[in-house]
Copies of this chain bind each other. A is one copy, B any other.
Amino acid sequence: MMHWSFVALLLTILTSSQGILTTLSQTNGKYLYDYATVPFLAEVFKLLVSGVFLWREYKTSPSTTKMTTEWKSVRLFPIPSIIYLIHNNVQFATLTYVDTSTYQIMGNLKIVTTGILFRLFLKRKLSNLQWMAIVLLAVGTTTSQVKGCGEASCDSLFSAPIQGYMLGILSACLSALAGVYTEFLMKKNNDSLYWQNVQLYTFGSIFNMARLIMDDFRGGFEKGPWWQRLFIGYSITTWMVVLNLGSTGLLVSWLMKYADNIVKVYATSMAMLLTTLLSVYLFSFNPTLQLFLGIIICMMSLHMYFAPPNKLVDLPETVKAAPESLKEISVERQTDS
């Protein structure tokens, strides 16, 4: 079994490549392929990989490969897809009220809403310091996105209508809910990870296909049915975007089962900063002070959240010196009462 921090690091690297690969897959700043087909193919890729792994696991040891096939359990697996579908529509509605950069800034709210739903739904306790770390992570990612001096478009963040902000908050809640619900699904029993994945991605593929079909109807089949658009304009880079998106999905799934949502949130936030940092070199953007500050804040937050408490604060000397004796006391106390 891999350590979760290794998986989180891999997720950070792959997620940060995602933005760069997507940019590289454009030709003269335009997509020659239909971008909506990418998530669909990524779902199919994840489904195939999970299917193969499940088959191998089952072949090796049929007795230990746990699979709950009752409808009562299976029917829960489309729920994350349904939440994402609602989320996409809320996102669309939000963008009619606010500009994309304000929407991007508000997106950082999902770090905080994930913490709240993590506490409320999964009943996981966080120390005050961990709460502060989560708020700082959101503040840090926001800081890195503050529009710099001399940037072309200069929309004010505080001038959108109130509906825009309400929808932004709803969007952050839905995004967090999908994550927290997936974690609940993955941890509710000790079914094989691959069996759980197969269920998740079967529904994921169906919902993504439904979206492509809806796009066809909305567009009046002008570009032909979706299956004809599927590989048109695909380059090697486009396929790398698909494989990368699929791989990050599989890593997130693993983290939901063996680690948790907060680990995922840290990995994706760090990836966002890494993408911005890499863009400075790859696309010769100007490094901004706010990027630099954002990175420091997020690093502090990471350390605050994950470092063991005794590395952060000075505990009373006796506590550190006599851990064995401490256990004895608590036993004594229990027998006394």
Which residues in A have some Cβ–Cβ distance to B below 8 Å?
105, 125, 127-129, 132, 135-136, 139, 142-143, 146-151, 154, 156-158, 286-287, 289-290, 293, 296-297, 300, 303-304, 307, 309, 311-319, 321-322, 325-327, 329-330, 333
Q: What residues of chain B lie closer than 8 Å to A143, measured between beta carbons?
A: 143, 146, 290, 293
| A–B complex contacts, Cβ < 8 Å, 7 sampled | A105-B289, A128-B307, A128-B313, A135-B300, A148-B149, A319-B319, A325-B333
The listed residue with most B CB atoms (<10 A of its CB), out of A127, A148, A318, A321, is A318
Q: What residues of chain B lie closer than 8 Å to A135, measured between beta carbons?
A: 296, 300
Q: Are B329 and A333 neighbours in the complex by a CB distance under 8 Å?
A: no
What are the 6 A-B residue pairs with the smallest beta carbon separation, nearest first? A309-B313, A147-B149, A129-B312, A149-B154, A150-B154, A318-B330
Q: What residues of chain B lie closer than 8 Å to A157, measured between beta carbons?
A: 289
Distance of A312 Cα from B315 Cα, bound (Å): 12
Q: Are A333 and B313 neighbours in the complex by a CB distance under 8 Å?
A: no
Distance of A136 Cα from B301 Cα, bound (Å): 10
Contact of A313 among B150, B313, B327 (CB under 8 A): B313
Closest to A326 in B: B318
Check A312/B127 contact, CB under 8 A, given A149-B148, A303-B132, A333-B322: yes
| Least CB distance, A227 to chain B, in whole angstroms | 44
Q: Are A318 and B312 neighbours in the complex by a CB distance under 8 Å?
A: no
Q: What residues of chain B lie closer than 8 Å to A146, measured between beta carbons?
A: 143, 146, 148, 289-290, 293
Q: Are A309 and B314 neighbours in the complex by a CB distance under 8 Å?
A: yes
Distance of A125 Cα from B314 Cα, bound (Å): 10
